[in-house]
Amino acid sequence: MLLFKILRPAEWAELKRAGETAGAPVDEADGYVHLSTAEQVEGTLRKHFADEGDLVLLACSENAMAADLRWETARGGALFPHLYRPLRMTDVVWSRDMPMGENGHVLGVLA
């Protein structure tokens, strides 16, 4: 299964440079990296990134993160994947730019 992380371009550049990241400021504050399932990405995008500029969507391997992944109740009582270690480049299966269009971010197909 793929899990998804939304990053700002500077955060993505830092992950590529360093090979790992503690995530965005909210991740650092909460002590884990917030991830989403395919079904949760659009809601996460609307709730937390609606006013952001261009973004990057990362698809990450659940298997690569399994030992440090917890499914915890969050928004609306749904279980969300939380990663209790840095997100690593080796976790990333693919990345996709999500430019800001006139109707919001262009998400595309999550396959």
Q: What is the largest CA-CA distance in the chain?
A: 40
Nearest by Cα to 92 from 60, 53, 44: 60
Task: Give me the percent of the chain exceeding a pLDDT of 70.
Answer: 90
Instruction: Please state which of the four CATH numbers 3.40.50.300, 3.20.170.20, 2.40.160.40, 3.40.50.720 is assigned to the domain occupying 2-98.
Output: 3.20.170.20
Predicted confidence (pLDDT) at residue 106 exceeds the cutoff of 70:
no
**In the chain, what are the domain boundaries?**
2-98
Predicted confidence (pLDDT) at residue 83 exceeds the cutoff of 70:
yes
| Residues 69, 42: Cα–Cα separation, whole Å | 21
pLDDT at 58: 97
pLDDT at 104: 66
Contact 91, 60 (CB under 8 A): yes
Predicted confidence (pLDDT) at residue 102 exceeds the cutoff of 90:
no
- The encoded tokens of residue 50 equal 């609606």
CA 38 from chain center: how many Å?
A: 11
Contact 7, 20 (CB under 8 A): no
In tens, the pLDDT along 5-48 reads 999 999 999 999 999 999 999 999 999 999 999 999 988 988 88
Angle subtended at Cα 108 by Cα 105 and Cα 110, rounded to the nearest 5 degrees: 120
Task: Give me the percent of the chain exceeding a pLDDT of 90.
Answer: 71
Instruction: State which H helix or E strand residue 47 sits in.
Output: helix 38-49
